Amino acid sequence: MARHWSDRALLLARRTLQWVRVGAEALLDTEKFVVANRTPYEVIHRKGLLSVRRYPPLTEATIQVGDELRPVRLRRHRVPVVLVPPLAADPLNFDLLPNRSLVRFLLARGFRVYLLDFGSPELDHSHLGLADYTTRMLPEALAAVRKDSGEQELSLLGYCLGGLFCLIYAGWSLDPQLRNIVTIASPIDSHQTGFGGRVVAAMNRTAHLVRSLTPFRIHNIDPQRLNIPGWASSLAFKLTNPRGTLQSYLDLVMNLWDRAYVTEHRTMSRWFNRMHDYPGGIVQDLVVQVGIDNQLAQGRLQMGRGRQARLDQIQCAILAIAGSGDRIVTEESARKLLEIVASHDKRYMVAPGGHAGVFAGRGAPAATWTYAADWLATRSGGRGAGTAARKRSSSRRKRKGASKGST
């Protein structure tokens, strides 16, 4: 019994010493514990805020995914995957941890992977709106990917606002070489996004009265006055789950002796604590067209100067994934996409996790990432296979309709 207590006391002493040592290191040298963006890449395009990364094939035979070893597929899928991040979050969330990196996961599954980086907007970029990102930057990035890869057909995978960028681009360009789109936690019906959606929906009638009775327009406000600083986005994100935020810091204190735990916590914190600013121009568009008017849910988005994105004319294959515990983008909001697009090949899935967890949480590799990779794998080979399949499907429907009409 005495030896048992002696061993426990020794263990406690060691952990206390480790707690002090690791805690001091984390306080004095935080960067030492941030391990995001470690996968090698090459920048194939850079212009202004925009840059495009290409990730070369993995050289390992296996990679660590969570607590498991996964084999690296040697044969590569023909159609490249282009990852599109949201604006506030840094692209590091696609390459978050060495054992929890969507980039490495897709590379191991045999995909050619590219990642867009929209940079960190400053006050001089306040004028940037949805049209700038979806009809100028995104087409420019895709042109660079097509030139670099030698392939015209592409798949897009976007998280949150990145998913909306993909859809708006597709509806505006009606790009016939766009093979697949995967959206993760992307809000389509803004009036169905929980409490915030109810508030925005209630503003709809008031907004119409203001438009009809006064000359006031949100788009007439100087966009510099509407910039949302990154710290405000971080705070708003944390306030969606204040109890969970507090618990995460308490857990950190209790596990400060564990270097691996501190490394994961600090890396995740970098994602949430260093968000980018939202330009005032895109705030105007999101509040009016996407929020109050809820145009995405109607299938058509006005972007000024006669430009319009027709989501109801998108025909490429679509996969929409929602988080079962997402308090920011509800299942109803994400599911609306399937009612709008003209695609015949479309699917909706629900994966465990909240707004961040569904995309990059501990359960994401086994759920969200596997869903997306499996779905894309069957739609990323065979030149023109997706287009041919859509034409055959359309032809069968026409023949069936003609047969019914003649009876």
Task: Please give the torsion angle defined by the CA atoms of residues 131, 136, 138 and 140, in that order, rounded to the nearest 10 degrees.
Answer: 180
Tens of pLDDT, residue by residue over 207-249, are: 777 888 888 888 889 999 999 999 898 888 888 778 878 888 7
Q: CA nearest 374: which of 314, 321, 311, 316?
A: 321
Tens of pLDDT, residue by residue over 341-372, are: 999 999 999 999 999 999 999 999 999 999 99
CA gap 18, 15 in Å, rounded: 5
DSSP assigned state of 368: I
> Which residues lie closer than 8 Å to 272 by C-beta, 6 or more apart?
234, 237, 238, 356
Exposure class string for 16-25: b at 16+ Cβ within 10 A, else e: eeebeebeee
Cβ atoms of 151 and 80 closer than 8 Å: yes
pLDDT at residue 286 above 70?
yes
Q: What is the pLDDT of residue 6?
A: 66
Tens of pLDDT, residue by residue over 98-154, are: 999 999 999 999 999 999 999 999 999 999 999 999 999 999 999 999 999 999 999
Q: What is the pLDDT of residue 121?
A: 92
Q: What is the pLDDT of residue 119?
A: 93
pLDDT at residue 304 above 70?
yes
pLDDT at residue 320 above 90?
yes
Q: CA nearest 170: which of 48, 317, 330?
A: 317
pLDDT at residue 394 above 80?
no
Tokens of 335: 């599911």
pLDDT at residue 386 above 70?
no
What value does the mean pLDDT of the chain take? 86
Residue-by-residue DSSP string for 117-175: E-----GGGTT--HHHIIIIIHHHHHHHHHHHHS-S-EEEEEETHHHHHHHHHHHHH--
Compare 74 and 203 and report the one with higher pLDDT.
74
Q: What is the pLDDT of residue 274?
A: 86
pLDDT at residue 5 above 70?
no
Task: Please give the torsion angle defined by the CA atoms of residues 321, 324, 330 and 334, in that order, rounded to the nearest 10 degrees.
Answer: 10
pLDDT at residue 392 above 90?
no
Going by pLDDT thresholds of 50, 70 and 90, the confidence category of residue 390 is very low
Q: What is the pLDDT of residue 389?
A: 41
CA gap 407, 405 in Å, rounded: 6
Q: What is the pLDDT of residue 9?
A: 67
Average pLDDT of the segment spanning 6-23: 70
Going by pLDDT thresholds of 50, 70 and 90, the confidence category of residue 383 is low
Rounded to 5 degrees, φ, ψ at 323 are -95, 135
What residue ranges do the domains of the chain occupy?
Answer: 31-406
322 class by beta-carbon count within 10 Å (0-12 exposed, 13-18 middle, 19+ buried): buried
Q: What is the pLDDT of residue 211?
A: 80
CA gap 166, 186 in Å, rounded: 10
Average pLDDT of the segment spanning 179-192: 94
In three-state secondary structure terms, 343 is coil
pLDDT at residue 162 above 90?
yes
> Which residues lie closer than 8 Å to 148 by C-beta, 6 or more apart?
44, 45, 54, 114
Average pLDDT of the segment spanning 315-341: 95
Residue-by-residue DSSP string for 53-105: EEEPPP-SSEEEETTEEEEPPSSPPSS-EEEE--SSS-GGGGEEETTEEHHHH
Cβ atoms of 34 and 40 closer than 8 Å: no
Q: What is the pLDDT of residue 295?
A: 94
Going by pLDDT thresholds of 50, 70 and 90, the confidence category of residue 185 is very high
CA gap 155, 381 in Å, rounded: 11
CA gap 1, 111 in Å, rounded: 58
Q: In this structure, how many other beta carbons lie within 10 angstroms of the beta carbon of residue 351?
A: 25
Look-up of token digits 């996969």: 319
CA gap 148, 58 in Å, rounded: 18
Compare 333 and 203 and report the one with higher pLDDT.
333
Average pLDDT of the segment spanning 27-56: 89
Going by pLDDT thresholds of 50, 70 and 90, the confidence category of residue 4 is low
Q: What is the pLDDT of residue 263?
A: 82
Bridge partners of 308? 302
Tens of pLDDT, residue by residue over 252-280, are: 778 877 878 788 878 888 888 888 999 99
pLDDT at residue 3 above 90?
no
CATH superfamily membership of 31-406: Alpha/Beta hydrolase fold, catalytic domain (3.40.50.1820)
The three-point CA angle 69-74-77 to 5° equals: 110
pLDDT at residue 288 above 70?
yes
CA gap 361, 352 in Å, rounded: 9
Q: What is the pLDDT of residue 399?
A: 42
pTM for the structure as a whole = 0.86
